[in-house]
Amino acid sequence: MSFERAQGATSRADQTTVRRANLGIVLQQIASGVPRSRARVAAETGLTRGTVSSLVGELLELDLLRETGEGDHSGRVGRPAQTLELGDRIVAVGLEVNVDYLAVCVEDLTGTIRYERHVHTDNRRSRPGPVLSRLARMAEEALEAADVDDLVPVGVAVALPGVVEEHSGTLLRAPNLAWSEIAVADEIAARLPGFTVRADNEANLAALAEHWQGAARGLDDVLCVFGEVGVGGGIFVDGELFRGAHGYGGELGHVTVEPDGPQCNCGARGCLETLVGLEAIARRAGLAAGSEGRTRNITRELVRRAEKGEDAVLASLAEAGRYLGIGLASAVNLFDVEAVVLGGCFGPLFPWISDDVRRMLDERVLSAGWSRCEVRASEFGDGAAVRGAAALTLRSVLAEPWRVAERSRPRQVRAS
């Protein structure tokens, strides 16, 4: 009987499963490169032209694809064939709570940012309720702007600077905010009726953005590290975001690099972020306290002074590079990645820290002699996490396009 079982029967459930899988195959094929015709999609996927036409019809109706005349027709005479490319109406909303700012963006399927806003505010002095209300208002403004532009939002996700329980979207612990056990996804969802809201660790989401369309694109095994007030890590293993047994993995900022080092907000001593977090760098560099609490300002000021060659700043950055390299070397010894991507404030500061990072990896990674891990600057800097929050939804749409019908909220309902 096992032989019959393996062949399976053509039930309606099977047909639905196959059609859903094929919708994803066609959409991902078109997402993977240049615009192309139905005929080319058929040739590339091995599906018949009839099947492709039917699938494309459904994807056009869902706004996941659009048809243009702008294909590759160089050298051709007459009207070019109609070509297919990703739709630009389906969008996702990305939100971010960080230690000293809130951010929102609206990103479309092609990875283009259609709306963004970044607001400085010291969330360490605020209770979660008012901060999340403010973030939800920013999301509403973004959704209104999307509505004006005739876009179709299909989901919302929030990037958070701490450990997040992925399935519930609960922030379990954010040492730098002194928040714990906050049901962030639920609280935002309560303020945005009709939307699915997810939440995840900011570094995981920033890594997702860099892996989808940034500096980590095309790499299966890569570690991304993001410097802000805290330091976060997002690790891809075999092309997938690595989460660990309970989703609490990748906490690079709390790898010990100096056992008796500075006190960390997490309670331990000498965590990586106590030595290479932005405020630690600024403090060592002797930056005025006035710029504290504004991540972007501190980074800009450090870059300005480093370009002028100020000794204290250069020394502080060299020390940050060394410690960052030590922490990364430990992680590379464990994960054996192809590359590390330096993001957040480490992006703009890359020219002054990357040599020390490189040197530490060469000295401290056991396999460095024959398998040299690359060091790259991030592409999206401190905008990666909020982009990644949008990408979390958009990547699900590309993988399972049939879910779009369930996710999108008709605009008529919102307008009423």
- Per CB under 8 A, which region of 28-36, 110-118, 190-198, 359-367 contacts a copy of itself? 359-367
Q: What are phi and psi of 172, to 5 degrees?
A: -80, -40
Q: Find the binder of a copy of itself among 329, 385, 386, 394 (CB under 8 A).
A: 329
Which H or E element spans position 177?
Answer: none
Q: Exposed/middle/buried for 261, CB within 10 Å: 0-12, 13-18, 19+?
A: middle
Taking the C-alpha atoms of residue 152 and residue 352, their distance in angstroms, rounded to an integer, is: 42
Token pair of 352 as six digits: 């002054």
- Per CB under 8 A, which region of 109-117, 170-178, 291-299, 350-358 contacts a copy of itself? 170-178
- Per CB under 8 A, which region of 169-177, 183-191, 295-303, 381-389 contacts a copy of itself? 169-177
Q: Find the binder of a copy of itself among 60, 81, 172, 314 (CB under 8 A).
A: 172
293 by DSSP, 3-state: which?
Answer: coil
Q: Is 318 in the site for a copy of itself (CB under 8 A)?
A: no
Q: Is 29 in the site for a copy of itself (CB under 8 A)?
A: no
Q: Which residues contact 21 (CB under 8 A, 6 or more apart)?
A: none
Q: Is 371 in the site for a copy of itself (CB under 8 A)?
A: yes
Which H or E element spans position 174?
Answer: strand 170-174
- Per CB under 8 A, which region of 65-73, 86-94, 243-251, 349-357 contacts a copy of itself? 243-251
Taking the C-alpha atoms of residue 225 and residue 8, their distance in angstroms, rounded to an integer, is: 46
Q: Is 231 in the site for a copy of itself (CB under 8 A)?
A: no
Q: Find the binder of a copy of itself among 29, 121, 256, 291 (CB under 8 A).
A: 256
Q: What strands lie across the sheet with 179-182, from one edge to the other?
A: 163-165, 170-174, 179-182
Token pair of 136 as six digits: 């939800």
From the CB of 10, what's the least distance to a copy of itself, in Å? 6
Q: Find the binder of a copy of itself among 94, 169, 233, 388 (CB under 8 A).
A: 233
Q: Is 113 in the site for a copy of itself (CB under 8 A)?
A: no
- Per CB under 8 A, which region of 235-243, 287-295, 397-405, 406-414 contacts a copy of itself? 235-243
Taking the C-alpha atoms of residue 312 and residue 143, their distance in angstroms, rounded to an integer, is: 45
From the CB of 93, what's the least distance to a copy of itself, in Å? 28
Number of residues forming the site for a copy of itself (CB under 8 A):
65
Token pair of 369 as six digits: 């002699």
Token pair of 68 as six digits: 């243009």
Taking the C-alpha atoms of residue 236 and residue 144, their distance in angstroms, rounded to an integer, is: 35
Letters for 47-86 (x = contact with a copy of itself by CB under 8 A, - = none) are: xx--x-----------------------------------
Q: What is the dihedral of CA 400, 403, 405, 406, to 10 degrees?
A: -170
Q: Is 243 in the site for a copy of itself (CB under 8 A)?
A: yes
Q: Is 163 in the site for a copy of itself (CB under 8 A)?
A: yes
Considering the complex, state which of residue 12 and residue 125 has its C-beta at the smaller distance from a copy of itself: 12
Token pair of 234 as six digits: 């997002």
Task: From 386, 273, 324, 295, select the one nearest 303 (Cα to Cα).
Answer: 295
Q: Is 18 in the site for a copy of itself (CB under 8 A)?
A: yes
Taking the C-alpha atoms of residue 39 and residue 95, their distance in angstroms, rounded to an integer, is: 39
**Cα–Cα distances in angstroms (integers) from residue 46 to residues 16, 55, 188, 292, in the given order:** 19, 13, 43, 58
Q: Find the binder of a copy of itself among 168, 247, 318, 409 (CB under 8 A).
A: 247
From the CB of 337, what's the least distance to a copy of itself, in Å? 6
Q: Which residues bind a copy of itself (CB under 8 A)?
A: 1-3, 5-8, 10, 14-15, 18, 22, 46-48, 51, 163, 172-173, 175, 220-221, 233, 235, 237, 242-252, 254-259, 266-268, 271, 323, 326, 329-331, 333-338, 363-367, 369-371
